[in-house]
Every structure is written in C-alpha cells, then in structure tokens.
Structure 1
Amino acid sequence: MTSLLEAWRHRATHRQVWSLAVPMMLSNLTVPLVALVDSTVAGHLPRTQDLGAVTVGSAVYALPVWSLGFLRMGTTGFAAQAMGAGSGSALRTVQVQALLLATLLGVLISTLMMPVLPWLIGQMHSTPLMEDRALDYLYLRLFGLPAALLNYALAGWFIGAQRARTTLTLLLVTNGVNIALNLLFVLGLDWGVRGIALASAGGEWCGAIYGLWLARRAVRDTEGRVDWQAMRGWDHWRPLLMVNRDIFLRTIALEGVFFSLSLLGARMGDTVVSANALLMNGLILTAFCLDGFANAVEALCGHAIGAGNNEALRRALVVAGGWALLGSVLYALFFGFAGHLFVDLQTNLPEVRELAYGYLPWLTVLPLIGVWSYLLDGLFVGATRAREMRDGMLVSVAFYALLLWLTRGLGNQGLWLAFLAFMAMRAACMAWLGLRIRQRHAWVLPGIAH
C-alpha cells in the first residue's frame, strides 16, 4: 500500500498522464466525424437513395479500415520502447517499418476489394439505383484506404513517441479538409455522392501527407539512422508482424462479441435491438474518456519497459489507473442518476424508452467493469505482448459463448449478463497473465525488439 501511495504522489507522472490522455480523448471524439459528416451531407441530397448509398458504402469501407487497426496499436508499443531505450535508430526504423507496412496493405486491400464490390453491395439487396450510387461512392472512397492506414501507423508512432498532441492535429486536419471539400464538391459543385467520397478520400490523403511531414520533422533532430540493411531480413520484421497478427486475431474475436449483441438482440425484436443500441452508445461515450488513459498507459509503460525502469512502470499504472477509475465512477453515477435523460435524448419512441429504462442498471455497472480491461490492454500494447492479449481474448470469448448458452432462457437480460461477464473475464484474464509475467520479473526487458 505504501508503494502505491508513493507512486500516486509522483507529480511528474500525473503531468505526463494528463498531457497524453487529454489530446487522445479529443482525438477519440474526432474518429466518428468522417462518417457523421458524410451522412449529414448525404441527408441533404434530393434522393433518399443517396443517403442509403453513403450509409452502405461507409459500412463496407469500414470493414478493412477497422480490421487493420492493429497498425496503430502494433506500432505504439515498439515506438514507446525505442523511445524509452533512447535509441534514435530504433525509433526511426519503427516509423519506416510501420509506414511501409501500411502502404503495402492499403494498396493490396484496395486492389483486392475493387473487383468484389458489386458482389458485396449486392448482398444488401438494395434498389438498383442505390446499388449504383454505393458503387460510385466505394470506387472513389477506396483510393483513400492507403492514406487511412498510413494515418493509423502515424498515430501509433506519435503516441509511442509521446506526441499525443500531434495525433490530435493530424486528425483535425483530416476531418477539417473533409468538411471543407464536402462543402466545395457537394454544395458548391453539386457532385453528389461522388463528391462525398472524394471529399473523404481527399481528407485522408491531406492528413497522411501532413502526418508524414510531421513525422519527418519529429526524427530530424534524432540521432541514428534507419538500418536499411537489417530491414531486408525476416528477423527484423518478425516482431512487428507477429504482434500485428495477434492484435488482428484479438480484434476479430472482440468484434464477434459486439456483432453477436446486435444479431441476438435483433432476433428478440426491433424494440430490443433499438434499446440495446441506445445503451451501447453509453459504452462508446465511456470509451472516449477511458481510452485516453489507456493510450497514456501504452506510451508511458512502453517507455518504462524500454528504459528498464520498473518504478516508472509502476507509477504509470497507478496514476493512470487511479484517474481512469475515478472517471469510471463518474460515468457510473451519471448513468445511475441521469440514465433516463440519456435515453430520452436519443429517442422519442415510448416503447423503446420504456424497454431501455429496464436495462439501465447494466449500463451503470459497465464502466466500473470495463475500465480494467482498457487499462490492461494499454499495458500489454506498450509491452508489445500481443500474444497474451490474443489468448486472454479467446478465453473470454469462449466464456461469453458458454454464458450465452446457459442464459438463453433469460432473453435480453441474459444477453447483458453474458456481456458484462465477458468484460469482467477480459480483465481477469489480463490480470492473471500480468501477474504471471510479474512473477517471472519479465515485464522490464533488457532491450527492445529492434
């Protein structure tokens, strides 16, 4: 207990946590802006098919972008450890590796998706006009995919290098250009759905170019150089690729859980799935704040591990964990006392409101349970221990599936029980794995992987 209090009293760590967490909280708020701007502009076009086309097209485009999000997390840990070790060469090399991988995947996935787009859109069973508009949107939108993945890699590197404000400016440029181009292409030039797609792709490319310029500036005064000779060998790429592979599998498993919530809720009726969607927005709102502290943990713990500093690792976990716990308590109080208002702001349908009210206790408890998995994810990302993250997630998903079967007679209450138990199991698995690593004194390594 004494060591925890000493860690909490370390003022410099408090400043570090907040300097990283606040920009990342604001960055998280910008993430849904592209889709929101696109749908808002499309909603003011003359045909309903335009809005439907952008909605469907955005959903299809989000599949590869979301599934390749490991480019952000996988880069953060290695960059943070290189920063902690004071190795400018490793920091430069991580940056180049991440950008090359993002570019390769962006071009490859875009090329592979182009010929299958008609089939994908056809599975929506939409009207011919909406299908045509959705294809128009996607054919242009995919030109922005390499830039979107470059932005993931850049954001991960900036977070690991403890440049969270740079990540925020990168996202602000991306979204600002998107909004400006939407006004020009759609409202000014009347290009319709194609203009919306071009505006989004243009915003992503402007953000990527700006981010590359910032990344070049960030390493300009850094000692060392990229080890191009070593990068020609598999051994130099293996750590990054293995981490990204495991994060990808972990992410797919996690998304399967969220997809099952929508699928099983839909089978219980339109009112149930609508009520659940409103409550899950509370989870998204919670994540905006708590993920900021998790990002701080990624950067600070990775830095401490790279520097071989156990005490800094403990301080980062205690301080970030303390503030995240306080944030989760505030969210729980908000949902507990103002949950009805939260629901009412989202819908005026009386049957959906009444049903959602009955499940507010689950939403109230959710932040208090979810906070631990967020923080521990940050620790494991910073330590580049993606294999343990993957294994813990797979165990948690298996537990969730078992609970779904055992509580199948409880309807939607059973669904929420299984989901909260899944979140608790995630945290428990990660905590157990973390304690095992600590018992082996293996958190702080003698050097980084590069």
Structure 2
Amino acid sequence: MTASQPITHARVLTIAVPIVISNMTVPLQGIADTAIIGQIPDATPIAAVAVGAALITAILWIFGFLRMGTAGMTAQAQGAGNRAEVAALLTRALMVGGAGGLLLIPLFGPIAAFGFDLSPATDEVKALAQGYMDIRILSAPAAIAIYGINGWLGAQERTRAMLVLQLWLVTVNVGLNVLFVVGMDLGVEGVAWATFVADWSGLVLGLWLCRSTFANPAWRDWPRVFDRERLRHMAAVNTDILIRSLLFEAIMLSFIFYYSAGFGVVTLAASQVLLHFIEIMAYALDGFAFAAEALVGQAFGARALGRLRRAVRLTSLWGFLSNLVFALGFALLGGTIIDAMTKDPEVQQMARNFLPWIVAAPVLGLPAWMLDGIFIGATRTRDMRNMMAVSVVVYFIAVSVLIPLWGAHGLWASLMIAYVTRAVTLALRYPALERATLAA
C-alpha cells in the first residue's frame, strides 16, 4: 500500500486488525506470568511478579519513545516518498535501542533500590521481585530494539510482520513459562528466564523481517544516518516522548507500586489482575491508534490536510466501535476472567469490587489513546509532553482528595480522571496540528 492511495475503511482495517490481534497478545505474557504463579494459593508470589514486572516494564517502556518517534518520522518520510530516509531511520532506531539497553543494565540496580525504598510492599515480596528483575534486565537491549523495529514496520503498514513477531514473543514466553515454572519448579525466576529468551529470539526474528532493507545500501549510508539536522530532529521528538512516557509512568507506577501496595497484599494482587484488563484493551485499541500514526504521518509528510482529516475520522470511528465491544465483554465476562487468573478467594473478591471501573475504562480512555496516535503521526510531541504534564498534576490532586473519601475506589477514579484530562487537553491542541499540516 502506497501513501498516495485512498484512505478507506478497508485500508484502516488492513493496518489495524493485525495490530489488534498482535497487541492483544502482549498482555498475555503478563497474564501468563500471573496465571501460572497464581496457581499457587498464596498472594505473595503474585504480588512479587506484580511489583517486579511493574517496575521493569515501566523502566523499559520509558524507551517506548523509540517506537512512537520512529513510527511518526518513518510515516512522514514514507508520505514524502523519501525511501532512503526510511532505511536510515531503521538504522538509527536499532543503534539507539541497543545502546540504551546496554546502558540500562548497570544502572538498573540503583534504580530498583530506589523504587523499593518507596514501596510499602513486604520484605518477602521485595526479595522475590528483586530476583525476577535481575534476570529480566539482561534482555533490555533486545526488548528496546524491538520497539524501534515495530515502529518502523507499522509506519509502512507492514502490520502482518508485526503480528508474526509478536506471536513469536508470546508463544516462546508462554511455552517456557510452563516449562520453567510448572515443569522445572523455578518459581518467579522461571517466569523471568522465559521472558529473557523470548526477547532475544524476538530480536533475531525482527531483524530477519527487515531483511529487504538490509539488502539496500541506503541503511548504511553513514553520512545520512549521522546527519546532524536529522539527528537533532530525532533527538527533539524522542526527548519529548521520553518526558511524556516518564510522566505517564509516574501515574502507573504510583498506582500499582505505591498506592495499591499501601492497601495491602490482597489489594495489590487484585489491582495487578485488573490492570491486565486495561492492558488488553489499550493494546487492542493501539491497532487503530497505530493506523492513525501511519495514515496521519503519511498525510502530514505529504502536506495533505484532507487526507489527514479522513484518517482521523476513520481510525477514531473504528476505535470507538472496538471499545464498546470491550466494555460489554468486561461487564459480562469479567468475573470469569478474574477467577481464571487467580485462585486466591480474597483476591477474587477484591478484584470484583473494582470491576465497574474496568467496564468504564474503554469509554473514558478512548479519546486519549486515539489522540496519542494522531499526535505521534504528526510528531506534535511537544503538545503530548505538555498535556501529559497537566494530566499528572490533575491525577495526584485527585488521589489526594479521593483516596481519603473512597479508599481504593478513589484511586481507580483518579486514574480515570487522568485519562479524561489528557483527552481534553490534547483536543484543545488539535487545531494547531491541522495548521501545521499546511506549513511549508
């Protein structure tokens, strides 16, 4: 599919459906971790995986700027017909991903120690979580490089390749979870080793999926790859997204790592179970947000305002329809899913208490997630950064007011308020995005 072809419902679905399927499997890795450990009738191992996975996933996803920034810039280069720059962007993404991951390994110990100092989790939970994270961090270079590969593939509408890569990651992870935890009784560390192997083998597969570009000498056109102006633009875009990601992680880490843990092990475990619901929904919706990134980015690169508006309308329509399905599914099947994920009766009951918030999340979160995709495609990353900062301030104000009033329900309400705030503030900046589309 070339950037100049009509933007139709079929084209949106061709981009989005493989990503919907692919991204819905991403939380399955975390669900598999929780479900397998959850077969032990004790909340402590679940809580340990919750704390360990939350911290290391948050730290790795700080580098999510690489996926988002690469997607926006590659889509714009694709829309402008600049194939040499498309190839150079892959090389830059792989270099940033590998270097960032290698740098993170020696820095992770102090970061984790600081995080544990802030967490009220028990010493037993912290000890198990530390062993988990010591293993997981060793695959950081592979995990971060895969972010860049996915952004690069998606911007060119090569979403079937992304689906193949994600199915490999999930299959390897789940299969080795069963082998290491159930078969070899390695416990929490077995869960970590399964993800380690999945990440490194996934990087090899990702490079193979990009093999056609490596056959073209443009990927190693070093004067272009290291062009100062292009590197400056890449650094500016990625820095904005990095700050935006850090602000977002301040919300999610405080939610699970501090506030939920402060309510006790049972509430922490229940929150971990329910956050998987939101992950499934957000990752599935990301298919349509990703379609927005690609189509908006291509239209922005071609300076075609009409195409940009059509991309916004069609991707948002399909995102809305998909989220209605999720809200209905969570309402009807939420209890059954909770029971499948944990055998602890207290955790099951606590998770059911908070289930109405999960039913509301698809409706309240949709505008924020779709606007993220639109702004990424246009690389309006400064707006994303600034509006996320406003949302963080509102979230912490809401937490300080609502937790004393409603307890843990106040925490969930604060998270929903953060979603709505981000949507409203980005919507106010959308007219400026359209004006920038026509700028020379």
Is the shorter-chain TM-score for this pair beyond 0.5, marking a shared fold?
A: yes
Counterparts of 1:45-194 in structure 2, within 5 Å, are 58=53, 61-113=56-108, 126=123, 131=127, 140-178=135-173
Among 422, 427, 436, the residue aligned to 1:426: 422
SS of the counterpart of 1:300? Answer: helix
Contact kept in structure 2, 1:305 and 1:445, CA below 8 Å: no
| Counterpart in the other structure of 1:228 | 222
Measured in 1, the distance between the counterparts of 2:115 and 2:322 equals 41
| Counterpart in the other structure of 1:443 | 437
| Counterpart in the other structure of 1:314 | 309
Among 375, 382, 398, the residue aligned to 2:377: 382
Amino acid in the other structure paired with 1:422: A
Measured in 1, the distance between the counterparts of 2:392 and 2:137 equals 32
Per the alignment, do residues 118 and 323 of structure 1 end up closer, same or farther by CA in structure 2, a change over 3 Å counting?
closer
| Counterpart in the other structure of 1:396 | 391
| Counterpart in the other structure of 2:208 | 213
Contact kept in structure 1, 2:7 and 2:307, CA below 8 Å: no
Among 348, 364, 367, the residue aligned to 1:369: 364
Show CA shifts across 1:316-338 (max 9, x none): 11111111112223333444566
Measured in 2, the distance between the counterparts of 1:370 and 1:284 equals 12
| Counterpart in the other structure of 2:245 | 251
Measured in 1, the distance between the counterparts of 2:39 and 2:274 equals 28
Amino acid in the other structure paired with 2:398: L
Amino acid in the other structure paired with 2:248: L
Contact kept in structure 1, 2:299 and 2:308, CA below 8 Å: yes
Percent identity between matched residues is 34
* TM-score, with structure 2 as normaliser: 0.81
Single out whichever of 395-404 and 118-127 deviates more from structure 2.
Answer: 118-127
Contact kept in structure 1, 2:91 and 2:225, CA below 8 Å: no
Name which one, 1 or 2, has greater alpha-carbon Rg.
Answer: 1
Contact kept in structure 2, 1:90 and 1:226, CA below 8 Å: no
Measured in 2, the distance between the counterparts of 1:191 and 1:350 equals 25
Per the alignment, do residues 364 and 444 of structure 1 end up closer, same or farther by CA in structure 2, a change over 3 Å counting?
farther
Contact kept in structure 1, 2:7 and 2:310, CA below 8 Å: no
Single out whichever of 420-429 and 325-334 deviates more from structure 2.
Answer: 325-334
SS of the counterpart of 1:31? Answer: helix
Show CA shifts across 1:85-135 (max 9, x none): 11111101111111111111111112333688789889977469x95x877
Counterparts of 1:34-49 in structure 2, within 5 Å, are 34-37=29-32
| Counterpart in the other structure of 2:319 | 324
Measured in 2, the distance between the counterparts of 1:71 and 1:369 equals 27
Among 396, 406, 413, the residue aligned to 1:411: 406
Amino acid in the other structure paired with 2:234: L
Does 2:14 correspond to 1:23?
no
Measured in 1, the distance between the counterparts of 2:170 and 2:105 equals 21
SS of the counterpart of 1:369? Answer: helix
Per the alignment, do residues 84 and 400 of structure 1 end up closer, same or farther by CA in structure 2, a change over 3 Å counting?
same
Measured in 2, the distance between the counterparts of 1:196 and 1:408 equals 33
Per the alignment, do residues 86 and 226 of structure 1 end up closer, same or farther by CA in structure 2, a change over 3 Å counting?
farther
Single out whichever of 307-316 and 257-266 deviates more from structure 2.
Answer: 257-266
Among 233, 236, 239, the residue aligned to 1:242: 236
Unpaired segments ≥5 residues, structure 1: 1-9
